Structure 1
Amino acid sequence: MTGAETIAECLKAQGVEFVFGIRGLHITAVADAAKRRGVRFIEVRHEQSAAFMADAYARVTGKVGVVIAGTGAGTAATMVGLQEAYCSSSPVLLIASQIEQAHLHKGWGDLHEVKNQHGLISNVTEACYDVATPSDIPHSLQAIFSRMAHGRPRPYGLEVPVDVLNAELAAPFSYQPVTHTPTLPDAQRLAEAVERIARAVRPVIYAGGGAIASGAGQAIKRLTELLNAPVLTSIKGKGVLSEAHDLSLGNLGTEGPVRALIEKADLAIVVGTRFSNRSTGKWSLRLPPHWVRVDIDELQFAKTHPGIQGSHIVELVGDARITLEYILGRLEKQSSRPQGFEGLEVIRAKKQTMESVRATYPAEVKLLEDIRHVIKRDAIVTNDSTMATYWARRYFEVYEPGTFLWAMGSGTIGFGLPAAIGAKLAKPDRQVLALCGDGGFLFSCQELATAVKHRAAIVVLLFNDNAFGMVDYGQRKDGHLFGDEALANPDFIALARSFGAEAERVDSLDQISEVVEKALARNRLTVIEVPVALRPAPDLS
């Protein structure tokens, strides 16, 4: 068994379903070995897209997304995607080839040689493991999968020299698959947290992507109903509690009526979030000073922006789901519990927020409502960084966890289309809709070929304002536009059809619901161009 076959055997034993990438010369043997073992290889048209697809796959399944890339340029092309996975805490594994060990650091100009590929990978992952023999591979992969399962989910790298890929395994193959064993926080801290919550009068819950990653949705629903505590979320946390729930406030924490409601709270239960700039309105979110905070990553407690950080905090290091379930079990035995908020006042705050926004921006709010109306509750929406998604991150209702994907960690563009493909491959029975701008779409439009090849029946809403709209908006505010910023775009309809996709153009936002509904019913890859410039969302102005 060769090193390449050893990698494939480990991936199969670990239950890996897909590998995304391109068969670069050095890494071809891994792709071939994986395919021979029933692991589906998705060959993309750019390695950056492979990383985005693996990221989306990880977000909607909770499993590890796997990418392979050849030495040098192939590996370097994954960097933006891995950076996004790192910022958004997605478990993505990059398996990268390397030149022969005897040639490393010699500078001989070997095929695909780069100065410091290990450092390149390390800069955008939690760690990069190097192997010197095929026998090192099972141990290294087991360590990587274990760290992903028991710590903060983040990308990792495995760098394998081409001579190791081709060498024979010296000992019999042995690999013990890693299983997730969630951990509870310190018992004394747990007791203190239960006491703190039981003493509260009006608690509020703030949940982030970590709550979704741990599968804590049902626990949060039970906790919010037990305590009558409204739930706020980060962008990545959208859907951890259905935003149709009477106590859900989604990502509306910095809106006037919601802010006034939160001022009445005396305790925040904070679950799995880092309080990023975008999720908190440039750190303008205001929670009560007393917190019970749950996070798998102890280091995150000290990294919170000082404008957000509470002053009296019970810190719980552990898995969000089992920690909340433990707290629930103790609270349910308490003779007295927090009074909480009246459901009607939470509903009123959300209603007032949406009515205010709708009065000023009727077309943009109607667009989101029309899209929501025609897709199923469990449909997956992937987002590029475009004006439509800046509206959606706050005002689009999400009903289930893992159904709203955005590259909000790194803020890159080009994520929407490949993420939609990765999500559709992971969940073929789900509707998948990508919201893209013309600028971001051209970063990854070649992946329409990947979608066609693998029959990924996604719908792409392509908002075309012939601009890098967000960039232009920022410059326009500062009075720095030069007049040459308009993009020279192709005929997007002809472009999409040339790949074999269905494509059509709408004349107004009023047509979108009908056209999207027909596209979803058609169950084919469809690109819908929307030549409309949306106004910036109010939190951007």
Structure 2
Amino acid sequence: MTGAEAVAECLKAQGIELIFGIRGLHITPVAAAVKKRGLRFIEVRNEQSAAFMADAYARATGRIGVVLAGTGAGTAATMVGIQEAYCSSSPILLLASQIEQAHLHKGWGDVHEVKDQHGLISNVTEACYDVKSASDIPHCLHEIFSGMQGERPRPYGLEIAADILKEELNAPFFYQPAVRTPKLPGEARLEEAVEMIAQARRPVIYAGGGAIAPDAGHAITRLAELLHAPVLTSIKGKGVIPEDHDLSLGNLGTEEPVQALLTEADLAVVVGTRFSNRSTGKWSLRLPPRWVRIDLDERQFDKTHPHIQGREIVELVADARTALEHILVRFEQQPSRPQGFERSTILRTKRQTLDRLRTNYPTEVQLLEVIRSALRRDAIIANDSTVAAYWTRRYFEVYEPRSFLWAMGSGTIGFGLPAAIGAKLAKPESQVLALCGDGGFLFSCQELATAVKHRLAIVVLLFNDNAFGVVDYVERKAGHLFGDEALSNPDFIALAKSFGADAVKVDSLDAVGDALLEALTRNRLTVIEVPAVLQVPPDLA
């Protein structure tokens, strides 16, 4: 068995079914080996897109995404996508080839040779493993998959020299699949947490992406209903509890009516979040000072912005769902319960927020409502960094976990279409909508070819304002526009059709709903161009 075949056997044993990438010169033996073993290889048109697709696949399923990249340029092209996966805690394996071992660091001018590929990968992953012999491959992959499933989910790299991929193993092949083992909370801290919650009068819950990853939504909903506690989320936490639930306040924590409500709270149960800039309105979120905080990564406790950090905190280092289920068992035995908030008060607070928004931004709010009404509850939204997506991150209602994808970790553009492809491959029966701007769409429009090849019925809403709209808004506000910023765009309808996609251009925002419904009914890859200049949402204004 060769090194490449050992990689394929390990992936298959681990339950990997789908791999994204391009068959670069050195990595082709792995692509061939995985295909022979029945794994599906999705060959893309740019390695950056492969990383975005694998990331979206992981977010939509909770499974591990795998990227295959050739030495040098191919691996370098994945870096933006792998960085996004790191920032957003997605479990991605980057399998990268390397020049022959004997040639490393010699500077002889090998094909695809780069100065420090290992360092490049290490900068955007939790760790990068270098294989020294073919027989090391099973052990390295077991360690990587164990780290992904036992610790905070993040990308890892595995770098294998071209000669090792062809080398025969010098020992019998053996691979033990890594198994997810939830990290349990310490008993003493658990009792402290339950006592703190029992002493509270009006607790609130704040949930981030760390609540989505272990499927903690049901436990959060049970706890919220038991405590009569409103549930706020980060952007990545959207959908952990259905946002039409009476107790859900979604990502509205920095809105004025919600801020007023939060002044009445005396405890926050904080689950799996780092309180990022974008989720907290540039760290303007104000939670009560007493916290019960649950996180799989104890390093995160010391990395909270000082404007948000609580003052009296019980910290539980544990898997979110496991910790919450333990809290629920103990709390249900408590003789006293918090008074909590009246549901009518929470509903009124949310209604006040949205009514005020509807008054000041009627066009943008109507657009969100039209999109939401056209989609099924479990539809997946893949957001690029465009003005429309800046609206959805806070004000678009999400009803299911793993259905709202946004490159908020890195803030990159070009994510929307590849993410939609990865999500559709993950969940072929789900409706998948990509929200793109004209600027970001041209970063990855070539992946329409990938979608056509695999007959993926994705709908792309392409908002065309002939600009990098968010950047232009910020620069205009600062007085730094020079008149040469307008983008020169292609005929997007002709472009999409040239790939074999359906395409239509609507005349106004009022026509978006009908066009979207028709595209979803046709169940074909469809690009809908929407010529529109949207106002930026109030948190950017």
TM-score by length of 1: 1.00
Q: Secondary structure at the match of 1:414?
A: coil
2:241 and 2:436 map into 1 onto residues whose CA distance is 26
Q: Alpha-carbon deviation of 1:171?
A: 1.2
Q: What letter is aligned with 1:39?
A: L
2:170 and 2:522 map into 1 onto residues whose CA distance is 53
Q: 1:96-495 counterparts in 2 under 5 A?
A: 96-495=96-495
Once the two structures are superposed, residues 395-423 of structure 1 have per-residue CA deviations (whole angstroms, 9 ceiling, x without a partner) of 00000000000000000000000000000
- RMSD (Å) for aligned C-alpha atoms: 0.4
1:27 and 1:15 map into 2 onto residues whose CA distance is 21
Structure 1 residues not aligned, in runs of 5+: none
2:78 and 2:23 map into 1 onto residues whose CA distance is 14
Q: Secondary structure at the match of 1:135?
A: helix
1:460 and 1:363 map into 2 onto residues whose CA distance is 20
Q: Alpha-carbon deviation of 1:172?
A: 1.2
2:461 and 2:235 map into 1 onto residues whose CA distance is 20
Q: What letter is aligned with 1:296?
A: L
Could you list the runs of 4 or more consecutive aligned residues of structure 1 that deviate by over 2 angstroms after TM superposition?
Answer: none
2:3 and 2:411 map into 1 onto residues whose CA distance is 37
2:19 is matched with which residue?
19
Q: What letter is aligned with 1:532?
A: A
Once the two structures are superposed, residues 64-87 of structure 1 have per-residue CA deviations (whole angstroms, 9 ceiling, x without a partner) of 100000000000000000000000
Once the two structures are superposed, residues 451-487 of structure 1 have per-residue CA deviations (whole angstroms, 9 ceiling, x without a partner) of 0001111000000000000110010000000000000
1:521 is matched with which residue?
521
1:408 and 1:312 map into 2 onto residues whose CA distance is 29
2:455 and 2:125 map into 1 onto residues whose CA distance is 31
Q: Secondary structure at the match of 1:539?
A: coil
Q: Alpha-carbon deviation of 1:330?
A: 0.6
Q: Does structure 1 residue 530 correspond to structure 2 residue 530?
A: yes
1:47 and 1:267 map into 2 onto residues whose CA distance is 45
1:111 and 1:136 map into 2 onto residues whose CA distance is 25
2:126 and 2:225 map into 1 onto residues whose CA distance is 37
Q: What letter is aligned with 2:141?
A: L
Once the two structures are superposed, residues 148-179 of structure 1 have per-residue CA deviations (whole angstroms, 9 ceiling, x without a partner) of 00100000000000000000111111001111
1:274 and 1:47 map into 2 onto residues whose CA distance is 29
Q: Alpha-carbon deviation of 1:183?
A: 1.5
Q: Alpha-carbon deviation of 1:132?
A: 1.0
Once the two structures are superposed, residues 260-307 of structure 1 have per-residue CA deviations (whole angstroms, 9 ceiling, x without a partner) of 001100000000000000000000000000000000000000000000
Q: 1:486-505 counterparts in 2 under 5 A?
A: 486-505=486-505
1:239 and 1:386 map into 2 onto residues whose CA distance is 21
Q: Alpha-carbon deviation of 1:512?
A: 0.8
1:60 is matched with which residue?
60
Q: Secondary structure at the match of 2:225?
A: helix
1:530 and 1:309 map into 2 onto residues whose CA distance is 42
1:328 and 1:472 map into 2 onto residues whose CA distance is 49
Q: What letter is aligned with 1:306?
A: P
Q: Secondary structure at the match of 2:439?
A: helix
1:170 and 1:336 map into 2 onto residues whose CA distance is 64
2:179 and 2:482 map into 1 onto residues whose CA distance is 56
Once the two structures are superposed, residues 12-31 of structure 1 have per-residue CA deviations (whole angstroms, 9 ceiling, x without a partner) of 00000100000001001101
Q: Alpha-carbon deviation of 1:185?
A: 1.3
Q: What letter is aligned with 1:163?
A: D
2:75 is matched with which residue?
75
Q: What letter is aligned with 1:518?
A: E
Instruction: Give the number of aligned pairs.
Output: 541
TM-score by length of 2: 1.00
1:324 and 1:336 map into 2 onto residues whose CA distance is 18
1:534 and 1:422 map into 2 onto residues whose CA distance is 28
2:72 and 2:540 map into 1 onto residues whose CA distance is 39
Q: Secondary structure at the match of 1:96?
A: strand
Q: Secondary structure at the match of 1:481?
A: coil
Q: Does structure 1 residue 4 correspond to structure 2 residue 18?
A: no
Q: What letter is aligned with 1:410?
A: S
